[in-house]
């Protein structure tokens, strides 16, 4: 049987306890990507791309939350190069993709528009948080860590690490697929 591969994506971005300092904007600094095979119900790839911010710096608050430092992300690739990597190495424009909520999709859209980088993803995106909420009959959409608890799955790695969160979201997607609740999501807008 042909595998049905999806990219599960989670990003971390520069952030502050309050408003950004003057002249700074939130930018993606880490892209976590886990490839899932919905036919075999397993995770088949785990990837991490560090992205060098151009219009912001990693705050102490951001380091505490994500574990990422300014020095670490300075060694990353430019955002446009990260988008090209996603398209070339991870078939991001061809494979459907999922994220926990719409933040990741909207952040890519905003940042691509602001920088002129080519939007790396195709139009088929699933909001895994919405699918989980509906499948569980919940009134309120849970965060990823709470969803893992509700699903009886462990939180693996560090919460707010893009690579680890993508890995954990992938486990939730596979759990939904295994129970027949993964709808896959409709085509959405974006910046294709």
Q: How confident is the model at residue 185 (pLDDT cuts 50, 70, 90)?
A: low
- Whether the pLDDT of residue 151 is over 80: the answer is yes
Q: Mean pLDDT, to the nearest integer, of 31-46?
A: 97
As assigned by CATH, the class of the 5-178 domain is alpha beta
- Whether the pLDDT of residue 189 is over 80: the answer is no
Instruction: Return the pLDDT at 187.
Output: 46
Rg (CA), the chain: 16
- For residue range 49-67, list pLDDT tens digits in order: 999 999 999 999 999 999 9
How far apart are the C-alpha atoms of 173 and 8, rounded to whole Å?
A: 8
Count of helix runs (H) and strand runs (E) in the chain? 7, 5
Q: Mean pLDDT, to the nearest integer, of 166-183?
A: 96
Question: Residue 2 carries which DSSP code?
Answer: -
- Whether the pLDDT of residue 192 is over 50: the answer is no
Inter-residue contact 104 to 92 (CB < 8 Å): no
What are the residue boundaries of the structural domains of the chain, listed by start? 5-178
* Mean pLDDT value across the chain: 95
Q: Mean pLDDT, to the nearest integer, of 157-175?
A: 98
Dihedral sign from CA coordinates of 86, 91, 93, 97: negative
Instruction: Return the pLDDT at 92.
Output: 96
Instruction: Return the pLDDT at 1.
Output: 81
How far apart are the C-alpha atoms of 184 and 17, rounded to whole Å?
A: 34
Q: Mean pLDDT, to the nearest integer, of 6-32?
A: 97
């Amino acid at each position: 049987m042909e595998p049905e591969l999806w990219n599960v994506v989670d990003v971390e971005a520069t952030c502050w306890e309050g408003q950004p300092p003057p002249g700074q904007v939130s930018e993606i600094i880490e892209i976590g990507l886990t490839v899932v095979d919905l036919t075999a119900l397993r995770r088949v790839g785990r990837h991490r791309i560090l992205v060098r911010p151009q219009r912001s710096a990693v705050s102490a608050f951001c380091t505490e939350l994500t574990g990422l430092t300014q020095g670490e992300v300075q060694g990353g690739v430019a955002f446009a190069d990260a988008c090209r990597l996603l398209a070339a190495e991870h078939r991001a424009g061809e494979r459907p993709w999922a994220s926990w909520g719409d933040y990741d999709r909207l952040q890519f859209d905003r940042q691509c528009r602001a920088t002129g980088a080519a939007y790396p993803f195709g139009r088929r995106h699933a909001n895994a948080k919405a699918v989980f909420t509906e499948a569980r009959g919940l009134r309120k959409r849970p965060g990823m860590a709470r969803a893992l608890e509700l699903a009886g799955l462990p939180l693996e790695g560090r919460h707010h690490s893009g690579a680890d969160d993508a890995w954990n979201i992938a486990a939730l997607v596979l759990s939904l697929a295994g129970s027949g609740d993964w709808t896959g999501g409709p085509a959405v807008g974006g910046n294709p």
